[in-house]
Structure 1
Amino acid sequence: MNVALFRSSSAFINNSFSMYTVLFAYSCWFSNALSLSVFFIAFGSLCGWIYVAVLGIPIAIDIVFRRQRYIDFIKWSIISGLITLIPLTLIDSYYYGKLVITPLNHIRYNLFSKHGPTLYGTEPWTYYIINGLLNFNIIYPLAIIGIILTPYIDIFIDRRYIQSVAIPYAMIVSSIVMWMGLLWMQPHKEDRFVFPIYPLIILTASIGIDQIENLIPRLVRLIKLKRNSVLFVRRLFVYSIIIIHGILSISRTFAIVDGYSAPIRLLTHSNTTNIFEKSSNKHLNICIGKDWYRFPSHFLLPEKSQLLFLRSEFKGQLPKAYSSLKNATRLIDNHFNDENKEEIDRYVNLNQCDYIIDHDSENPSEIQPNYSQQFQIITSIKMILPSRRSIFRSFYVPYFSVRSNRYTFLHLLKCSKFVDVLNE
């Protein structure tokens, strides 16, 4: 039901993979399976995203200083590193034809390169606050409350449980604070960077809820309510959170699906209705211009096809498919750069396209026209326009969202040279 987990768990990226391994690592840690917790941190950071090693610091502190098992920690770390890094290096080196240690390359580019990730845009410090409220709604402030109240946990919990409960709580909180502190320091911010701690944010929110629940008896006495009203207030508090979070999460999920699923629905519909097969048996060129960043996946393209790019007002570096030659992963293509500069070889001429994916823009230009005015529309899916900011764009509310938001259509267009074939 949570929007953050709905989005992050379905994404096919290394940040999602790291989220899984961090979740496994912390689950093992809480279950006292310490060797496995060390392994999953190593596995997630080396095979997924190297920076999640930071989330292993609280586990390391707990094992080395609190439990005094530093020899075991060193042994588990070495074994986990070797088990993960050796096959990773062998596989990468085989496919690239030279020695490649991917985690080191990642660190070298992002931390020691003169360019770094800021080439791909920067965001204000408020980015993660707004993003957190959109993805977690009421859970996000509850997680903040959990972080703030954790140092005072001995006030709310029986001191007999402090050693077994309070220290892990503090360490969960410290991992979130460290991670978010690192992210806030970086000018380049993305939603996916927070993925690894999504489960920990929810856990911290539950800590906040528990601490507020323990405060309720004191609040009841303070405002001089009847003693038997404590249970009622507690239930009202918990049920209200569940209901509010559920409604807002469903509303947000509907807004995402309704407004932004057009690219996936367009290609899925085109495949299931065999639209592409009606054209010919030849290899198809499916082109995309200003909507290049909306393209979901090559898995949704028909088998005998390739995605090509039309020139648009975007002046950065677009992706490029591997060569069809043998050992393509070992070939070095000179048409790449680490400065996000435009590479002209990415573009094709319009007459090379069999199909075009394009939406009707409010502000078309000569280099970025609305192709639906030139070619035959095969199928269209409604898509939201982000030009108008509204709470009803972020959260779907029947009737109000439709009236408040502005929509356009994402089209699958048939180039004119194949119109006759399609109509046969």
Structure 2
Amino acid sequence: MVSFRAAQDLLSESGTFSFSLKTAFRVLLIMRCASALYSVIQDCDEVFNYWEPTHYLLQGYGLQTWEYAPQFGLRSWAYILIHALIGFFTKIFTSTKLQTFYLIRMALAAFSSFAEAKFYRTVVEEINPHVGRYILVTLFFSAGMFSAATALLPSSFAMSTVFMAFSYILRPPSHVDRSRTYYAVFWIGLGALLGWPFSAILGLPFAIEEVVVYGRDTTIDKEGKVIQVIRSTHWRFKRAFRLLEAILVCGTGISLPILFIDHWFYRNWSFTPLNMVMYNLFGGEARGPSLYGTEPWYFYIVNGFLNFNIMFLLALGSVFCVLITAYIDRQRVPGASRMDAVWPYILLGLKLVPFYIWFTIFTCQPHKEERFLYVAYPLITLNAAISLYLIRSWASRVARAFGANVNVRAYVLQYTSLAFLAVFALISVSRILAVVLRYRAPVSVYGALWQDRAPDQIVNLNYLQEDFPYNVSLKEKNLCVGKEWYRFPSSFFLPSDVRLQFIQSDFNGQLPKPFQEDLIEVTYDRAGGKKETWRKRPLRFKGTSAKATGFNDLNVADPSVYVSTFALGMVSVDQCDYLVDTDFPLRATTPNEPRYVDDTKTWEILDCQPFLDAENSKRLSRAFWVPGAKGLAWGEYCLLKRRP
């Protein structure tokens, strides 16, 4: 039984416990580190557009997409350089580049955890401690955050900057204090210019609020005294001028480094955020994102439910929750007029609008991808937590209407939110386990390459020594992929003497091509007149400015990318030393995609791991992990080695 005083405190929300910034950061970092170590790479765009360029800067070779060709310049090297610098630092105390891969992920985990914790603390201080608590639980358990927080994607980076921006946007506007304006503009601008340009859309409600809403009319001086601010008749004009000033200062400060870094790599003047916007919005009918597939209008509803389950539904209904509360609970806010009572709910509604703007705009776009929703993840948690807080208040009002005493109403408040969060956490953990346990095979299988080495070659895999020249007599080996090209986890998973090659499959779109390697051969005169040739890195990065042939912005296949040929009704794989392929017994084979596992005369199996056959599994069973679930079909993800 809850004591009368404790029940009264609960109903009045006095003394509500909340974590400090440091504690919230540590709690979130636990889950983010788990994500860095176990989360699968869900998008081939993450590998080929971000991990591979990062690998090129660190190791001198990698794969290039058309977006990085100088004639197009859609991707910024400034974003890649930040992560490459982290990688350069980690090489001091790592022995393999695979460790560098995971340490870069750990850095992403730390940045995301801090941004989330700061967002949480602002909600606690400016909105409500209970809302902050719901947000913390949602962030910790969310399957969407588990994937997005450590993904090397501009949309993930923009998501973290949105967390940071809203940790200031959620504060009331101030006529005297300029920090809210400048910090919000800086983080929105950083996410848009360095990350994903379209994330700037989320700054529109903030700009409107900055000019329309006066906010606090008091400030605190250096001595801690509260000072009343006299409202000027021209305060909106001054606010608009301050906002414009912040946009110019922050925009220039962010854009110039990006411009000069991209110029150094591309060897031409190109502003990549503008190039990205122009291609996606004004590329013409033959170009644009729709070339890479379209999805139905309900795609983000299904995807949002998979990643946030019931909390996503609460986020969708948040505006209705506010409207209902404004109608049935107007007397909670005192005032002389109806507007006085409703105005706080209008201000609250302004905080909910950005999610609806983002969701509406991207639902209307034919081309849809899960990562496009990453930027809205902070807003989903905010809207959902506010909805849950209002719903628990409704439950308490209903209990009071039926004559419930203080203790019963306190229990209603406690267990209404607890029930929602418990169901959310259970479904979220089920989703995380389903993805990690059923689709992690590529990471394990590519890792088997590191074990397929003779003992005398181990020294050649020591990446502490890879900054030194190495012998060119060591033959490079080809690892080939066909239909499994899009699950390649990046060259960080390949030993230094292995290169990825493509063989023909039923896929007929454009594939990446190797960067011009940042490696040169140098001949040394040794004692006794003996000459030795070694390979070293000049660190000139000529591959970033070299105009590779065959690239186009129409997603048209380039036959020169294949190491194989198609003859006599089958794909030639003579140049492949290793091959990665999936074997799904329930799927039909084609001439371009035979069952290589059955060709035991040519290939021996180094490693095979179970891999879910999503096409032949029931949707609900494959989406969530349930012990003993029925309706799942399995295949094998295999690494094959050519027999001598």
The match for 1:100 is 270
The match for 1:306 is 499
Judged with a 3 Å threshold, the aligned counterparts in structure 2 of structure 1 residues 269 and 168 are, in CA distance, closer, same or farther, namely: farther
The match for 2:333 is 159
- After TM superposition, give the deviation of residue 228 of structure 1 in Å: 3.7
The match for 2:242 is 72
- What is the identity, as a one-letter code, of the residue corresponding to 1:252? R
User: Per-residue displacement from partner, 1:281-339 (whole Å, max 9, x unpaired)?
Assistant: 53221111101111122211112221111100000111122111651111112201111
- After TM superposition, give the deviation of residue 242 of structure 1 in Å: 1.8
Distance in 1 (alpha carbons) for counterparts of 2:455 and 2:623: 38
Distance in 2 (alpha carbons) for counterparts of 1:257 and 1:391: 16
Does structure 2 conserve the Cα–Cα contact (< 8 Å) formed by 1:390 and 1:405?
no
- What is the identity, as a one-letter code, of the residue corresponding to 2:317? I
- What is the identity, as a one-letter code, of the residue corresponding to 1:352? Q
- After TM superposition, give the deviation of residue 222 of structure 1 in Å: 4.8
2:605 is the counterpart of 1:377: yes
Distance in 1 (alpha carbons) for counterparts of 2:324 and 2:271: 44
Judged with a 3 Å threshold, the aligned counterparts in structure 2 of structure 1 residues 162 and 341 are, in CA distance, closer, same or farther, namely: farther
- After TM superposition, give the deviation of residue 164 of structure 1 in Å: 9.0
- Superposition misfits of 4+ residues, deviation over 4 angstroms: 160-165, 221-227, 276-281
The match for 1:357 is 580
Q: Secondary structure at the match of 1:409?
A: strand
2:408 is the counterpart of 1:229: yes
Q: Residue 261 of structure 1: which of 424, 428, 440 is its match?
A: 440
The match for 1:133 is 305
More deviation, 377-386/25-34: 25-34
Judged with a 3 Å threshold, the aligned counterparts in structure 2 of structure 1 residues 389 and 277 are, in CA distance, closer, same or farther, namely: farther
More deviation, 59-68/184-193: 59-68
Fraction of identical pairs, as percent: 32
The match for 2:143 is 3
The match for 1:249 is 428
Larger radius of gyration: 2
Q: Residue 219 of structure 1: which of 374, 380, 398 is its match?
A: 398
Q: Residue 322 of structure 1: which of 497, 515, 524 is its match?
A: 515
Does structure 2 conserve the Cα–Cα contact (< 8 Å) formed by 1:354 and 1:414?
yes
2:181 is the counterpart of 1:61: no
Distance in 2 (alpha carbons) for counterparts of 1:8 and 1:191: 10
2:253 is the counterpart of 1:24: no
- After TM superposition, give the deviation of residue 404 of structure 1 in Å: 2.3
Q: Residue 334 of structure 1: which of 549, 560, 572 is its match?
A: 549
Does structure 1 conserve the Cα–Cα contact (< 8 Å) formed by 2:326 and 2:342?
no
User: Per-residue displacement from partner, 1:367-401 (whole Å, max 9, x unpaired)?
Assistant: 1111112211001111000122231211101112x
- After TM superposition, give the deviation of residue 220 of structure 1 in Å: 1.9
Q: Residue 251 of structure 2: which of 81, 98, 115 is its match?
A: 81
- What is the identity, as a one-letter code, of the residue corresponding to 1:359? T
Distance in 2 (alpha carbons) for counterparts of 1:354 and 1:15: 36
Judged with a 3 Å threshold, the aligned counterparts in structure 2 of structure 1 residues 279 and 113 are, in CA distance, closer, same or farther, namely: farther
Does structure 1 conserve the Cα–Cα contact (< 8 Å) formed by 2:400 and 2:409?
no
Q: Residue 36 of structure 1: which of 183, 201, 220 is its match?
A: 183
Judged with a 3 Å threshold, the aligned counterparts in structure 2 of structure 1 residues 169 and 370 are, in CA distance, closer, same or farther, namely: farther
Between the two proteins, the alignment pairs up a number of residues equal to: 413
| Higher RCO structure, 1 or 2 (CA under 8 Å, sep 6+) | 2
User: Per-residue displacement from partner, 1:132-175 (whole Å, max 9, x unpaired)?
Assistant: 11110111111122222223443447325979953553122210
- What is the identity, as a one-letter code, of the residue corresponding to 1:145? G
Q: Residue 45 of structure 1: which of 189, 192, 203 is its match?
A: 192
More deviation, 300-309/225-234: 225-234
Q: Secondary structure at the match of 1:338?
A: coil
The match for 1:421 is none
- What is the identity, as a one-letter code, of the residue corresponding to 1:378? L
- Report the aligned-residue RMSD: 2.0
Q: Residue 558 of structure 2: which of 343, 357, 367 is its match?
A: 343
Judged with a 3 Å threshold, the aligned counterparts in structure 2 of structure 1 residues 162 and 381 are, in CA distance, closer, same or farther, namely: farther
TM-score by length of 2: 0.62
Distance in 2 (alpha carbons) for counterparts of 1:408 and 1:373: 14
The match for 1:416 is 643
Does structure 2 conserve the Cα–Cα contact (< 8 Å) formed by 1:378 and 1:411?
yes
Q: Residue 292 of structure 1: which of 458, 461, 485 is its match?
A: 485
TM-score by length of 1: 0.92
The match for 1:420 is none
**Contiguous gaps of at least 5 residues in structure 2:** 1-140, 173-179, 215-235, 335-339, 458-473, 519-540, 565-572
- After TM superposition, give the deviation of residue 34 of structure 1 in Å: 2.5
The match for 1:143 is 315
Distance in 2 (alpha carbons) for counterparts of 1:138 and 1:395: 14
- After TM superposition, give the deviation of residue 268 of structure 1 in Å: 2.9
User: Per-residue displacement from partner, 1:209-251 (whole Å, max 9, x unpaired)?
Assistant: 1111111133224556556422222222111112111111111
The match for 2:419 is 240
- What is the identity, as a one-letter code, of the residue corresponding to 2:438? G
- After TM superposition, give the deviation of residue 25 of structure 1 in Å: 0.4
More deviation, 221-230/240-249: 221-230
- What is the identity, as a one-letter code, of the residue corresponding to 2:482? G
More deviation, 149-158/193-202: 149-158
Q: Secondary structure at the match of 1:404?
A: coil
- What is the identity, as a one-letter code, of the residue corresponding to 2:439? Y
Does structure 2 conserve the Cα–Cα contact (< 8 Å) formed by 1:276 and 1:302?
no
Q: Residue 171 of structure 1: which of 350, 361, 371 is its match?
A: 350
Does structure 2 conserve the Cα–Cα contact (< 8 Å) formed by 1:5 and 1:198?
yes
Does structure 1 conserve the Cα–Cα contact (< 8 Å) formed by 2:295 and 2:368?
yes
